[in-house]
Amino acid sequence: MTVRRITWVRVAVLLCLVAVWSAPVFQTAGAQSNAEAQAAALLARLTPEEKVGQLFLVTFEGSNLKPESPILGLITRRHIGGVVLQSGKDNFSAGGGALEQAAGLVASLQTAEWDDSQQSSGVRQYIPVFIGMSQEGDLAPYDQLFNGMTALPSQMALGATWNINLAERSGEVLGKELNALGVNLLLGPSLDVMDEPQTAGREDLGVRVFGGEPFWVGEMGQAFIRGLHVGSNHALAVIGKNFPGRGASDRLVEEEVGTVSKAFEQLQNVELAPFAAVTVNSAADEATLDGLLVSHIRYQGLQGQVNANTRPVSLDAAALDSLMNLDQFAAWRETGGVLVSDNLGSDAVRRLFDPTGTNFDGRQVARTAFLAGNDLLYVDHFVSSGDPDYYTTLGRTLDFFIQKYREDAAFAERVDKSVERILTLKYRLYPSFSLQSVLASQQGLDQVGQSSALTFEVAQQAASLISPDSGDLNVAMPRAPLASERIVFLTDVQISRQCSTCPDQPVLALDALQNAVLRLYGQQTSGQVVASRTSSHSFAELTRLLDNVEMDSTIEPDLQQAAWVVVAMRDVSSTRAESRALSRLLSERADLIRDKKIVVFAFGAPYYLDATDLTKISAYYALYSKAPAFIDVAARILFQELPANGASPVSVDGAGYSIARVVSPEPAQVIAISLDLPLQESSATGTPAPTEVPTFKVGDTLPLRTGVILDHNRRPVPDGTIVQFLFTTGRDNAVVQQISSATLDGVARASFRIQNPGIVEIRVISPPALTSQILTLDVSGEQPAAVTAIVPTLPVKPTITRAPTLSPTPAVTPTPEPVRTATGGLLDWALAVILSWACAGGVYALAQPRFTLRWGLRWALLSASGGLLAYSLVQLIWASSQTWLTETLGGTIALVLVGAAIGLALGFYWQQKALVSGKRTRS
């Protein structure tokens, strides 16, 4: 009875746990199915005008709405589906009230739609407006709103940490802050793969990608998207871009339709892989995208022999349909995945239809994009030839779609399907279409911009040493700058504006790195840097110097006198001549940098310097982002307070750094191999334990698995890494079978059927890792035998796991270690002199009342001499050593006081000897 009761208790507890764990799943699945039902019901009540309006994502100018603002008419009379906010459209303001202004603008847009629906006396249903924006990190120009928001890192900076926890937490911060503003649609993140190094003439996405390895881009993308959904309380539609991937495009797709020249298999394994990673799950999964932004790009492997007349995937119904029918995307699309066209008013689209860019028919372009399969049509700078303005073209396009809806049943059916997907997505964000549920709480604004500690944590883990290798760094840069050395900072300055009428704001200021160094190590803190021995100059100044242009600048003499040249560089661009100033300095003016320490910090992508440039640089670090926290970390690296522990997520040709090699198996590892046996619960401890040791005979099948195979970063190799299981059997021990298997979570599995008697030997390789444990099994006799392992090793513990949710941990700002200041200069000598004579004055004042004038002067002179002598001797003997006595202010004071005390002791000894001598003389 007792046993039965205990069993029933266990069953009851287990059922309760299952119910608790599965409740969120059932709740989410129920909400999904309810959203579809609500969308279908609402669709049946909408007019053709309301349906067509939902298909468009528009832009407008200005940060304040007036009753006559055209955008209000588009919302209330044209029922457009959403708007996209941009800094280039002056939708945001600068200053302390930037967040309040942005939140107020969003609220005004939603309220306009609500008020109009209420005035219809229930005839028209209120439908929330998509309020979209792009916020890619790294401040301007990739963040549309950079006043008041947390200065989050770029995607490449996150990729350089190789830490999915930090990616998720960064997404969570962004989701929370966008939700506080009322933004409910994010055009991002980018899931492009930069698998090939950037070269001239190709598109350069810079730091707007997670990296160049498809698996890791997918891993970081999943974590970031999960964070966005959680942080926004699932009230943010996440639209991944730039589908199907434009990392290998041969040109900037904003300017001209580009081409990716790869075979279809390559496209699936590289470009499409990250998008598949965030669409294969159900639409209710937190790591699943809500939509895809379809890029204007041709795919040679998908569309055959492309030419100038071949339409991009975004406008090609056959190409886009074939992609959506792939196993990776079919289920996602079927469950409501939304396709959003890239901007249909871009220069690339205009030149596609007319190379001169003069003839443009917005109505036909929008129709082509819609019939290609896009649900939401993003239209910006969308002005047809002959139309006076954007709103005229948009109005005529809407009328054209409404007419087609009424006249063409097939077109109407396509509209209904797209609108149903759009409404389903809106119901997922807001189960109840009411203004109260849509408007953001003003209290949430207080938390916006308060997550800089996370950015600092990312910066610490992202900072990477690109050149030289860590083993050679101590030779190239054995110490930090000394106070006696001059430092020149060269900065590729970036100035931006939040709006056209807003004041200039430095994104990367002329003296940003200099100020960080002085704040952390200047005379107000550790005294390791003297402000008068530092100076900052811009790349623009350096370019004028190299071009021999006369200017009022001290850059040339400053460089001549400098011991250290510290460079803050950004991306190199053919449109900015000054961006190549560093490479020109290294090649054209070797006289200015000879015998100097050259330290370069790349606050953009790391691949712009070539191998020759790197040979002339003492140390080259990549930071990947211009946010203040990254500048702070660069200063700490320069003064060797922090190490650079990150690793570039993209290839750097100049340094011979290949991302393919980095994620390949580390050769210096012994791959573990074992039987793939199920675990059973130990009756004694309740923890998983192996089953009894199994035995095998001829005819049985061996289930096998490897341990976690690590890459060169000591992380699990990407999923799909090929592992070969090698089997030898029989009496001649020849290799009789080889089984290839792909890894999942760093582990590969295989099964082997024993067909012949003899000794079976099993090992694995995954080039370039060619060493593994060896399993042996002797099945020579009739009795079953157990497997034994040769060369046993401890299992290698991976550095990350693929846990679905990782709890954020508070970021800790490192406390600066006590830093040193050289005290051998003129100022320090003067301080020693003053302290010595101060001691002499004190000694004389104490001696005068009790002893003769002669002894008072003698003691004072001896204490002063002792102090100066002690300071001078230590400086001469240990001048080349960085000790506490020679490198700190406290050391100087201690030396003087000790020397003065020794001098005073000698004076007392002298006096006592003189007294004794006098007594003897008198006697």
The H or E element that residue 186 is part of is strand 185-190
pLDDT value, residue 24: 43
pLDDT value, residue 511: 96
Q: What is the CA angle 37-38-41, rounded to 5?
A: 85
Q: For 769, how many CA atoms within 13 A lie in the half-sphere containing its CB?
A: 31
Give tens-digit pLDDT for 22-48. 444 444 445 567 999 999 999 999 999
Token duo for residue 429 = 């964000």
Give which of 685, 480, 682, 654 is closest to 563, Cα–Cα.
480
Residue 706 DSSP one-character state? E
- CA–CA gap between residue 281 and residue 752 (Å, rounded): 32
Give tens-digit pLDDT for 535-545. 999 999 999 99
- CA–CA gap between residue 48 and residue 55 (Å, rounded): 11
pLDDT value, residue 747: 96
Helix (H, G, I), strand (E, B) or coil at 373: coil
Token duo for residue 459 = 């910066």
pLDDT value, residue 286: 92
What is the DSSP code string of 522-565? STTTT--S-GGGEEEEEHHHHHHHHTT---S--HHHHHHH-SEE
Q: What is the distance of C-alpha 670 from the center of its chain?
A: 32
- CA–CA gap between residue 23 and residue 16 (Å, rounded): 11
Alpha-helical (H) ranges within 68-213 are 70-76, 98-119, 155-161, 164-181
Per the rule left: phi > 0, alpha: psi between -120 and 50, beta: everything else, 599 is beta
The H or E element that residue 317 is part of is helix 317-324
Task: Write phi, then psi, for 494 (nearest 5 degrees).
Answer: -130, 125
pLDDT value, residue 196: 81
**Residues in the chain, pLDDT under 50:** 1-29, 792-824, 879-882, 920-923
- CA–CA gap between residue 736 and residue 310 (Å, rounded): 51
